[in-house]
Amino acid sequence: MIVGIDLGTTNSLIAYFTEEGPKIIPNRLGNHLTPSVVSVDEEGNVYVGETAKERMSLYPDTVAQTFKRSMGTDREYILSGRHFKPEELSSMVLRSLKEDAEAYLGEEVTEAVISVPAYFDDKRRKATKRAGELAELKVERMISEPTAAAVAYGLYDKTQDTRFLVFDLGGGTFDVSILELYHNILEVRAVAGDNYLGGEDFTEVMAKLFLQKRNLQLQNLDEKEQVRLYRQAEKAKCAISDQSQVTMNFLYREEMLEEVITVKEYEEACEELLMKIREPVKKSLADAGLKLSEIDEVLLIGGATRLSIVRDFLIRLFRKFPDTGMNPDEAVALGAAVQAAMKERREEVREVILTDVCSFTLGTEVVVEYEEGRYEEGRFCPIIERNTVIPASHTERLYTVRDNQDKVRVRVLQGESRYARNNLFLGEITVEIPKAPKGQESVDVTYTYDINSLLEVEVTVTSTGRKQKMIIKGDDNQMTEEEIKKRMEELAYLKIQPRDYEENRLVLLRAERMYEESLGERRKKLDRYIMSFEAALKKGDHDEIRDARTALNDVLEEENE
């Protein structure tokens, strides 16, 4: 049997399809939600779900949670002296769900459709697939969480063309997706989000607000006290949605502390988080080429959308009341179950073609000529831009930059930065080419990206027709986000150039941000003006720098309108 699984940051669920439609499978405790928490004791016994969550208060050093945020990285969690990767911990949650389903259904569960955040990159998706395999589940297909939710809302049997904005704020990740339904095709138009924003952050704000009122520092609390604090903060966060104020209690050094926190205080403390929500919404609309008024429905999924301050903020942001007709905690799992039924070719489900998009730009490292005869290495050349509907295949022709060059190295990168070093390295191909004067030899680099997150890279030497091909699965890259951040910090110690003057640095940072938020011709236009400004900075002529900066500023203002 094929089931649908929502592998969440805070809670996970499993569902299957029946003649009456998709249904959640209760866990061994009779609950629909299984906390995504794992504990391992000194004897090597593994606890998953509510039991593991309960152990946290007593044995915090044996428990791991929110590990979904670290999927695809090399981070390790140490539980009772044993080391575990995020996908290994996730596999324990999946195995628990699998066992619950088999006990409930009375048959073996062999395959699953697992949902992933729309903004998960290839490495995180591959880690999710590995987690399923470790749990002895065949995972041939994954579905983006917003797409699953859209299917669950009944979009798979709607007849009229509709545009939807799916707002997914879960426990640890945040996605905004714009989907369009026409005939029997459900197409993802754009995705944006934040892998490090969710309900857990709103809990943390409540905890910090309490500490602030009591003049306490988090670092002065021991592990058990921190666990207790966040547990009480979670309760207060949920309770304040239905009240004008909440009383939060916390046992500290054998003294019960009590504080009243009002909705107004909490809203003000959450202002920064709410502002972080706004940007991905704007970005997804811009990438889809749509205005908010062109969105027919706004769907809310993810447990954090239950919070009144979040819903009130969204009503103001969208200027309409979102659709809340389905349990936001269950929508993704139910949609994954519908997708599983489609994969099984169930007669009860009308076949819908689900398209997806490439969440991040895929490209390669190139050398660019910023003025005649002067080159800059380490630049990023986009080949398949983010939010391109997949499957997709694009080709870029690259030319030699040195006389008698006999090799071309194609480094496969993923990201939005103009600089190769800031993007994620996925793999590389090196091809031999005939020696010739610079610019006379070239290669065609073709990227083909499919819906299963597999990237095929083909490099063809145009003069000889020689081809070299490889499949990028993302498994070779071992660089974590922490390592990338560390590398960027190391670069800050390099010699200070004119770009580091405050005014120049500010306009460059703004330009880089807008470049990463742009696509197509707009991105190319920005790139030209940025290159002109950088060329002026390298020359060091103050008048030329001023003129180039003014020109770049004018373009930024124009593009920002």
* Claim to verify: residue 148 and residue 35 sit in the same structural domain: yes
At 476 the pLDDT is 37
Q: Are 277 and 169 spatial neighbours (Cβ–Cβ below 8 Å)?
A: yes
Selecting among 6, 201, 234, 517, the annotated active-site residue is 6
Average pLDDT, the chain: 86
Is the pLDDT at 20 greater than 90, yes or no?
Answer: no
- The span from the CA of 188 to the CA of 191, in Å, is 8
What tokens were used for 317?
């942001």
Amino acid at 207: A
What count of other Cβ atoms lies within 10 Å of the Cβ of residue 340? 26
* pLDDT range class, residue 452, cuts 50, 70, 90: low
Q: Are 80 and 62 spatial neighbours (Cβ–Cβ below 8 Å)?
A: yes
Listed residues 233, 253, 271: the one ending a domain: 271
At 493 the pLDDT is 33
What tokens were used for 417?
């930065």
* Claim to verify: residue 174 and residue 223 sit in the same structural domain: no
Nearest to 285, CA basis, from 177, 151, 175, 161: 177
Helices (H) and strands (E) in the chain, counts: 14, 27
- The span from the CA of 551 to the CA of 176, in Å, is 34
Listed residues 254, 271, 288: the one ending a domain: 271
* Claim to verify: residue 335 and residue 382 sit in the same structural domain: no
* Claim to verify: residue 129 and residue 249 sit in the same structural domain: no
* Claim to verify: residue 284 and residue 259 sit in the same structural domain: no
* Claim to verify: residue 172 and residue 45 sit in the same structural domain: yes
* Claim to verify: residue 126 and residue 153 sit in the same structural domain: yes
At 351 the pLDDT is 62
For residues 327 and 181, the model is more confident at 327
What count of other Cβ atoms lies within 10 Å of the Cβ of residue 235? 15
- The span from the CA of 236 to the CA of 428, in Å, is 50
Phi, then psi, of 169 in degrees rounded to 5: -115, 100
Cα–Cα distance list, 407 to 199, 401, 426, 446, 536 (Å): 50, 11, 20, 17, 32
Residues in the chain: 561
- The span from the CA of 512 to the CA of 184, in Å, is 39
Give the ranges where 79-136 is alpha helix by DSSP (H).
Answer: 86-105, 122-134
Q: If DSSP codes are grouped into helix, strand and coil, which group holds residue 278? A: helix
- The span from the CA of 300 to the CA of 169, in Å, is 8
At 475 the pLDDT is 41
* Claim to verify: residue 190 and residue 218 sit in the same structural domain: no
Query: Picking from 21-35, 146-160, 384-398, 448-462, which range would have the lowest pLDDT averaged per residue?
Result: 146-160
At 487 the pLDDT is 37
* Claim to verify: residue 518 and residue 453 sit in the same structural domain: no
At 462 the pLDDT is 93
For residues 243 and 509, the model is more confident at 243
Q: If DSSP codes are grouped into helix, strand and coil, which group holds residue 177? A: strand
What tokens were used for 16?
């299957």
Listed residues 490, 517, 552: the one ending a domain: 490
Is the pLDDT at 334 greater than 80, yes or no?
Answer: yes
Query: Is-catalytic flag, 168?
Result: yes
Amino acid at 46: V
Mean pLDDT, range 546-557, rounded to an integer? 90
What CATH number does the domain containing 237 carry? 3.90.640.10
Q: Are 21 and 318 spatial neighbours (Cβ–Cβ below 8 Å)?
A: no
Q: Are 416 and 401 spatial neighbours (Cβ–Cβ below 8 Å)?
A: no
For residues 536 and 560, the model is more confident at 536
Query: Is-catalytic flag, 145?
Result: yes
- Of all helices (H) and strands (E), which one includes residue 396? strand 392-399
Selecting among 53, 68, 123, 283, the annotated active-site residue is 68
Selecting among 121, 145, 200, 385, the annotated active-site residue is 145
pTM of the model: 0.70
* Claim to verify: residue 387 and residue 460 sit in the same structural domain: yes
What is the per-residue pLDDT across 474-514, written as a single tens digit (0 to 9) for each? 443 344 556 434 533 433 332 333 444 657 876 886 788 77
Selecting among 168, 329, 356, 385, the annotated active-site residue is 168
What is the per-residue pLDDT across 295-325, written as a single tens digit (0 to 9) for each? 988 999 888 999 999 999 999 998 888 887 7
At 4 the pLDDT is 97
Cα–Cα distance list, 480 to 171, 176, 243, 256 (Å): 22, 24, 42, 41
Q: Please count the structural domains in the chain.
A: 4
Q: Which of 132-141, 152-161, 206-215, 290-299 tops mean pLDDT? A: 206-215
* Claim to verify: residue 235 and residue 208 sit in the same structural domain: yes
Q: Which residue has the tokens 């409930």?
A: 104
**Residue 257 buriedness (CB in 10 A; 0-12 / 13-18 / 19+):** middle
At 155 the pLDDT is 62
What CATH number does the domain containing 545 carry? 1.20.1270
At 517 the pLDDT is 67
* Claim to verify: residue 34 and residue 170 sit in the same structural domain: yes
- The span from the CA of 201 to the CA of 213, in Å, is 18
Q: 66 — alpha (psi -120 to 50), left (phi > 0) or beta?
A: left
Instruction: Find all residues with CB under 8 Å of 492, minimum gap 6, and list them.
Output: none
Q: What one-character DSSP code corresponds to residue 352?
A: -
Residues spanned by the domain of 164? 2-197+273-357
At 173 the pLDDT is 85
In percent, the amount of the chain with pLDDT more than 70 equals 90
Q: Which of 144-148, 444-448, 468-472, 554-558 tops mean pLDDT? A: 444-448
- The span from the CA of 166 to the CA of 189, in Å, is 11
Handedness of CA 65, 66, 71, 73 (dihedral sign): negative
Q: Are 113 and 143 spatial neighbours (Cβ–Cβ below 8 Å)?
A: yes
Q: How many CA atoms lie within 13 A of 58 on its CB side?
A: 8
Query: Is-catalytic flag, 98?
Result: no
Q: Are 22 and 157 spatial neighbours (Cβ–Cβ below 8 Å)?
A: no
Q: If DSSP codes are grouped into helix, strand and coil, which group holds residue 410? A: strand
Contacts 24+ apart (CB under 8 A), 251-255: 251/225, 252/214, 252/216, 252/221, 252/225, 253/225
What is the per-residue pLDDT across 72-111, written as a single tens digit (0 to 9) for each? 898 999 998 888 999 999 999 999 999 999 999 999 999 9
Dump the DSSP string for 59-92: -GGGEEE-GGGGTTS---EEETTEEE-HHHHHHH
Phi, then psi, of 54 in degrees rounded to 5: -70, -35
Measure the N-to-C terminal CA separation of the chain; round to a whole number of Å: 53
